[in-house]
Amino acid sequence: MLGELWRYWTTFAPERVRKFGYLQRLIAVEFRAKRCAEAWEPHLRNCRHMIIKAADLCERQGTCVVIGSGLLLEVPLSALASRFDHIYLVDIFHMP
């Protein structure tokens, strides 16, 4: 809990991100992912596998857009980078 508070205080974020609670939620997910890493691993592995499978089905692999990329926990970024020329990560806020 202290780590989350420290992270919140020391993370630069636009005021709207703080005001609407996005920063707090991102930090909560970040710390929960660390605490529950073993329990979350099957889900994260399945998500990564599904994204790679979907990427392989794309006819053209020039550009990839990941909407809701968050903390990139489920996004196999290196696998996507090897398949696409350009990758755009889209979310309300990305942690530094």
pLDDT confidence of residue 74: 96
Kindly indicate the confidence band of residue 77, based on its pLDDT and cuts at 50, 70 and 90. Answer: very high
Distance CA 21, CA 36 (A): 22
pLDDT confidence of residue 1: 82
- Residue 4, token pair as written in the block: 């989350």
Q: Is the pTM of this model over 0.75?
A: yes
CA 44, distance to chain mean position in Å, is 11
Tell me the per-residue pLDDT of 42-61, one tens digit each, with 9 for 90 and over.
999 999 999 999 999 998 88
Distance CA 95, CA 1 (A): 18
Q: How many residues are there in the chain?
A: 96
Kindly indicate the confidence band of residue 82, based on its pLDDT and cuts at 50, 70 and 90. Answer: very high
- Residue 92, token pair as written in the block: 């309300």
Q: What angle do CA 13, 87, 75 make, to 5 degrees?
A: 75
